[in-house]
Amino acid sequence: MTILRGLVLVATFALAPGSARAQTPSTILLRGDRLAESKRRLAAGDAAMKESVAILIDSARSALDATPVSVMEKRHVPPSGNKHDFMSMAPYWWPDSTKPGGLPFVRHDGLVYPESRVDHDGMRLQKMINRVEALAFAYYFTGDERYAGAGVRHLRVFFLDTATRMNPNLEYAQAVLGINTGRGTGIIDTEMLPRVLDAIRLLEASSSLTGDDRRGLTAWSRDYLKWLRESANGKDEQAAKNNHGTFYDEQVVSLALFVGDTAFARDVITHSVIERIATQIQPDGRLPLEIARTRPLHYSVFDLDAFTMLAELSRHVGVDLWHYASPTGGSIAKALQFVAPYADPSVKFPFSAVREEGNDVFLRPFMRASAVLGDPVFARVLEQVSRTARQRDFSRFGFPGII
């Protein structure tokens, strides 16, 4: 098809556990060979790596005895009557002061309604992933089974145990009070799933993760992927033209790779993703649908977080999105170059915003891009991000040349 023009095909990487070289984990988003390089640097006494791993171990130790979180902790019950169903409120919708009881809510884009952040299953998911990620990396670098055991315990409570597990759907995510009980937009609440999929892959070398655990986590992922593909909410989000659609693709591709459906992953990348590059990214790198928002810089870089994840995921199916340009000239690299100057807080983004933004959101997309594309401009972006943010983001172990 003409839409495939310009795609660069690359060698396909094996995903099956145990298929890679010794000590090279078969991770999904992060590159296993780079993680292995970080581990070799640590063993060789690399000072920067030792400092980074020491910070990691502090986080992992705090997660060792932490009580696992679950969706059953919420005070409210979803419309289904089943607290196992994920539930959250839309962040930018507020009570209408002119209406009795404030209903229906009204939208104030970019302004977070504080109550929407309370009793939010997405926050619980984030907390669980932060803990499991730290524990999995700590296990990978130390071989200490205590970290693996704790990581598996958190995974079981959130995904597997019948008394506490999350049902694999987001039917009631980002509800708007007085208007709906959930919407496709809420699917972005699980955009961090690739991080936990990578953590599971790191834990697969551990005796703590049993065969039943592996099968259960795979089944949950397969069921959630099915819901994303077939539900009304999933279809709505797939049709989204802005960052919501990009993050939908990021989730379904990572889940498909995790469960072994590489054919579907490749189909999404070679059709949906490259169409998004063509429709979302202008030849000069602007992302007009994100610039139109009330937080234009944040959402431009946020969308590039999803696009750069997809560029990394595409290597598993023999496609190079990093060097792809659409027929009109838009590309991920150009979009990164467009926003790069504004990582410097002293350089004002030329579009109005409802509030000032921090630059931590630049970290992950520019780590990925700098490692692959080698553009010195991207390396300078990373220097603008605070040292604390860089040290606390453990995905940096996938970029040993940047630590």
Q: How far apart, in Å, do the first and last CA atoms of the chain sit? A: 41
Q: Of 304, 268, 187, 267, which Cα lies nearest the Cα of 234?
A: 187
Dump pLDDT digits (tens) for 202-214. Answer: 999 999 999 999 9
Residues 329 and 272: their CA atoms lie apart, in Å, by 17
Percent of the chain exceeding pLDDT 90 equals 92
Average pLDDT of the chain is 94
Report the C-alpha gap between 153 and 175 in whole angstroms: 30
Please report, rounded to a whole number, the percentage of residues in the chain having pLDDT higher than 70. Answer: 94
Q: Which residue stretches of 65-144 are H helix?
A: 121-142
Higher pLDDT, 151 or 14: 151
**How do residues 232-249 score in pLDDT, each as one tens digit?**
999 999 999 999 999 999
Which pLDDT band holds residue 285 (cuts at 50, 70, 90)? very high
Which one is the CATH code of 46-239: 1.10.3710.10, 3.50.50.60, 3.10.129.10, 1.50.10.100?
Answer: 1.50.10.100
Task: State the Cα–Cα distance between residues 188 and 197, nearest whole angstrom.
Answer: 16
User: What is the distance between the alpha carbons of residues 24 and 20, in angstroms, rounded to a whole number?
Assistant: 6
Q: If pLDDT is split at 50, 70 and 90, which confidence band does 402 have?
A: confident
Which top CATH class is 1-30+241-403?
mainly alpha
The radius of gyration of the chain's CA atoms, rounded to the nearest angstrom, is 21
**Mean pLDDT, residues 75-85:** 97
How many CB atoms sit inside 10 A of residue 306's CB? Answer: 23
Read off the amino acid at residue 104.
P
Q: For residue 345, what are its two tokens? A: 């807080």
Work out the average pLDDT over 85-109.
97
The Cα 110–Cα 91 span in angstroms is 8
Token reading at 394: 């453990």
Write the pLDDT tens digit of every residue in 60-71: 999 999 999 999
Amino acid at 196: V
Whether 46-239 and 1-30+241-403 are alike in CATH topology: the answer is: yes
Give the tokens for residue 387. Answer: 């040292």
pLDDT in tens, 156-169: 999 999 999 999 99
Q: Is the pLDDT of residue 372 over 80?
A: yes
Q: Which pLDDT score is estimated for 4?
A: 55
**Residue-level pLDDT at 9:** 58
pLDDT of residue 10: 55
Q: Is the pLDDT of residue 401 over 50?
A: yes
Domain residue ranges of the chain, discontinuous segments joined by + = 1-30+241-403, 46-239
- For residue 20, name the pLDDT band (cuts at 50, 70, 90): very low
| pLDDT surpasses 90 at 12 | no
Helix (H, G, I), strand (E, B) or coil at 252: helix
Question: CA-CA distance, 3 to 278, in Å (whole number)?
Answer: 9
- Cα separation, 336 vs 325, in Å, equals 13
- Decide if pLDDT at 131 tops 70: yes
d(CA 90, CA 202): 33
- Could you read off the pLDDT of 250-275 as tens digits, one per residue? 999 999 999 999 999 999 999 999 99
pLDDT at 5: 53
Of 196, 186, 95, give the one whose Cα is nearest residue 151. 196
- Residue whose C-alpha is closest to residue 300's, from 288, 282, 308: 288
More confident residue, 111 or 6: 111
Give the number of other Cβ atoms within 10 Å of residue 371's Cβ: 18
